[in-house]
């Protein structure tokens, strides 16, 4: 005779999660219940979460800009603070825009921009095969094209000079500060999705150095940084012939640096 199915009440799940240190145990309990196909699945999911696996990996998705973004273990989980980047990008483009997302991770930026702007021509790249799998799943409904490779390298050459929005949530944590990250990020997310080099700006330098060659006249590059890094990021974008500005939102603890290629295509003269 088969063993009876395990029965876990909401109260029992909350108690288990709280004992494991989950701050939002009640909310997580309801998400786990809704994601589980069977009582056995639920019991296993609760144990994975209690063992420290990020909730998004357990349930298979993350919420971003009110949308569900599929994620798998190891793939960078989109942060709510990055919603500022989406808002700033959407305010600078319209339906029909050509959008490129570098370091796309699971494709959250592209999904959110497609939802905000409607019809867009969307391209995304990432060096991580797992991230590319997730991005292809997430961006499929928007008709997005996802390429595996390093930054601009895998993009079609005919995109040069016609990109309206270039968004890049590059890794920007200084190498020496990786150990200070929350446990879930430090232990479970891919190192290359977090580590931005000695000052956290190595990948941004590479993105900014080539951006002007891909942007259309009047096009914009948008990248997320920390508030402390913003002054250096501004200098980096200016050296890349872009006109820089900074947007921040205390509510999200978010900072976005924007570089614009002027309408003549010549960029910053500073």
Confidence of residue 1 (pLDDT cuts 50, 70, 90): very low
Domain boundaries, the chain: 10-52, 80-260
**185-215 tens-digit pLDDT:** 999 999 999 999 999 999 999 999 999 999 9
Average pLDDT over the chain reads: 93
For the chain, how are helix, strand and coil distributed in percent, rounded to 5?
A: 45, 20, 35
| Region 45-54 average pLDDT | 94
Query: For 118, which DSSP code?
Result: S
How big is the chain, counted in residues?
270
CA distance 104 to 169: 7
- Homologous superfamily of domain range 80-260: Vaccinia Virus protein VP39 (3.40.50.150)
Query: 113 in helix, strand or coil?
Result: helix
pLDDT of residue 267: 55
pLDDT of residue 5: 56
CA distance 78 to 96: 25
pLDDT of residue 98: 97
> Which residues neighbour 252 within 8 Å (Cβ) at sequence distance 6 or greater?
80, 81, 83, 84
> Which residues neighbour 56 within 8 Å (Cβ) at sequence distance 6 or greater?
62, 71, 77
CA distance 209 to 266: 14
**152-180 tens-digit pLDDT:** 999 999 999 999 999 999 999 999 999 99
């Amino acid at each position: 005779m088969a063993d009876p199915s395990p029965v876990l009440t909401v109260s029992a799940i909350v108690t288990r999660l709280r004992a494991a240190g989950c701050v939002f145990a009640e909310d997580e309990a309801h998400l786990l219940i809704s994601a589980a196909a069977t009582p056995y699945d639920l019991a296993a999911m609760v144990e994975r979460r209690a063992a420290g696996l990020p909730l998004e990996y357990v349930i298979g998705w993350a919420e971003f800009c009110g949308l569900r973004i599929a994620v798998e273990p190891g793939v960078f989980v989109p942060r709510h603070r990055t919603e500022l980047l989406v808002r700033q990008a959407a305010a600078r483009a319209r339906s029909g825009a050509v959008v490129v997302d570098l370091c796309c991770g699971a494709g959250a930026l592209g999904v959110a921009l497609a939802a905000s702007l409607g019809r867009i021509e969307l391209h995304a790249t990432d060096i991580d095969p797992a991230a590319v799998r997730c991005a292809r799943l997430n961006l499929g409904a928007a008709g997005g094209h996802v390429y595996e490779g390093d930054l601009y390298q895998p993009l079609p050459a005919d995109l040069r000079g016609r990109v309206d929005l270039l968004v890049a949530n590059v890794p920007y944590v200084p190498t020496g500060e990786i150990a200070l990250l929350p446990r879930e990020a430090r232990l479970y997310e891919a190192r290359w999705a977090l580590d931005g080099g000695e000052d956290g700006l190595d990948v941004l330098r590479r993105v900014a150095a080539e951006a002007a060659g891909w942007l259309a006249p009047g096009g914009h590059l948008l990248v997320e940084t920390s508030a402390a890094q913003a002054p250096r990021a501004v200098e980096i974008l200016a050296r890349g012939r872009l006109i820089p500005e900074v947007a921040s939102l205390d509510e999200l603890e978010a900072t976005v640096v924007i570089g614009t290629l002027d309408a003549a295509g010549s960029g910053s003269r500073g």
